[in-house]
């Protein structure tokens, strides 16, 4: 088990701390340089910067203020990161994310790139200390370190402060946030961090987060709606074929990428996809006097939805059969 301590913009940390509804965070890098320090499910702690640079930010500097559990690392454009994670990027809107990414980038030409690529370290079940209960940074922390430092709990003698970081995590993680709509099975569950703790345990075992699901489904279907073939990314959503609450999995094979309005029609059973991948359209669209011409024409042409190339990502035929038999308004 490893724990990483990452240096964060104090504004980013304060923004996320004050929005208790956010359970994920994008600890983004203004210029992508990869991230291989953790495996999924391992802890990541936030360490704030010099408070003199953030005098009007209500969070202490040079402190361990919170953290989360590593989910994945991916490189995306600012517009894509905003579409997937929104305010979980630690800012109020896309324009602010773009402005901050530009301000931190090195060269003058990089600072004007219209939609720069950023490195996205995605964290789940984030947590923050109660105001006034933040912890001092590790005693031997080198303040010229501006990225992150890893601590191997199996070999604490290799790096000073390993035990301090381990105990800091144990003290902070009891406030881990869980989205009970996305993860209703975690309600009241005893989770499996085995290290020192203060209070109830928090999630460390790997699970696919909501943003990860959206990104992975979009990538599997090449950022195009499987029914309309629209490629306007901000209008696309990852849809569960069989909802998690009804026995479906948070897995790409149980997901398809749909345009926002098509997603609503699919969830309400006006559209479906049979196990042979044919588009099926409910006659109720016509009965209600709604405009479903684009869908009826595709169905009449025998339209088949495209499949991802990788076998593990292909749509689950059992999930498609469940939707077609259970949700589709056949008549």
- Band of the pLDDT at 197, cuts 50, 70, 90? very low
The two three-digit tokens of residue 93, written as one number: 């809107």
Specify the pLDDT at position 273.
98
Per residue in 119-172, pLDDT (tens digit) is 999 999 999 999 999 999 999 999 888 899 999 999 999 999 999 999 999 999
Tell me the CB-side half-sphere exposure of residue 188, using CA atoms within 13 A: 0
Specify the pLDDT at position 86.
98
How far apart, in Å, are the Cα atoms of 38 and each of 26, 44, 104, 206?
15, 8, 24, 12
Strand ranges (E), 94-170: 117-128, 135-136, 148-152
Q: What percent of the chain has pLDDT over 70?
A: 92
**Statement: residue 87 has pLDDT above 90:** yes
The two three-digit tokens of residue 273, written as one number: 């996809």
d(CA 266, CA 268): 5
Tell me the β-bridge partners of 279. Answer: 273
Q: Dihedrals φ, ψ of 159, to 5°?
A: -140, 130
d(CA 211, CA 29): 17
How far apart, in Å, are the Cα atoms of 154 and each of 2, 117, 139, 194?
8, 35, 20, 13
Every domain of the chain and the residues it spans: 2-186, 210-326
**Statement: residue 201 has pLDDT above 80:** no
- Selected from 3.40.640.10, 3.40.50.300, 2.30.130.30, 1.10.8.50, the CATH number assigned to the domain covering 2-186 reads 2.30.130.30
Tell me the CB-side half-sphere exposure of residue 107, using CA atoms within 13 A: 5
26-41 mean pLDDT: 95
């Amino acid at each position: 088990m490893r724990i990483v301590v990452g240096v964060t913009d104090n504004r980013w940390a304060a923004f996320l701390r004050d929005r208790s509804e956010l359970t994920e965070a994008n600890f983004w890098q203004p210029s992508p340089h990869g991230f291989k320090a953790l495996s999924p499910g391992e802890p990541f702690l936030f360490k704030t910067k010099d408070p003199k640079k953030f005098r009007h930010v209500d969070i202490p500097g040079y402190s361990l203020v919170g953290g989360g559990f590593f989910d994945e690392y991916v490189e995306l454009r600012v517009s894509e990161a905003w579409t997937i994670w929104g305010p979980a990027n630690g800012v109020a809107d896309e324009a602010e994310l773009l402005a901050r990414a530009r301000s931190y980038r090195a060269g003058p030409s990089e600072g004007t790139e219209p939609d720069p690529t950023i490195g996205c370290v995605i964290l789940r079940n984030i947590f923050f200390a109660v105001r006034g209960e933040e912890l001092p940074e590790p005693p031997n922390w080198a303040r010229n370190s501006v990225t992150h430092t890893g601590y191997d709990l199996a070999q604490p003698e290799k790096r000073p402060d390993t035990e301090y970081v381990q105990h800091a995590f144990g003290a902070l993680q009891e406030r881990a946030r869980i989205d009970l709509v996305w993860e209703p099975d975690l309600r009241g569950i005893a989770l499996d961090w085995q290290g020192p703790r203060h209070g109830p345990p928090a999630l460390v075992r790997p699970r696919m987060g909501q943003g990860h699901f959206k990104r992975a489904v979009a990538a599997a279907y090449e950022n195009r709606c499987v029914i309309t073939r629209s490629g306007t990314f901000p209008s696309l959503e990852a849809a569960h074929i069989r909802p998690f609450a009804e026995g479906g999995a948070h897995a790409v094979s149980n997901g398809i990428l749909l345009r926002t309005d098509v997603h609503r029609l699919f969830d309400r059973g006006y559209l479906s996809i049979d196990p042979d991948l044919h588009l099926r359209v409910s006659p109720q669209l016509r009965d209600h006097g709604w405009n479903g011409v684009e869908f009826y024409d595709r169905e009449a042409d025998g339209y088949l939805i495209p499949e991802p190339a990788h076998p593990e990502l292909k749509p689950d035929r059992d999930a498609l059969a469940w939707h077609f038999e259970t949700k589709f308004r056949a008549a």
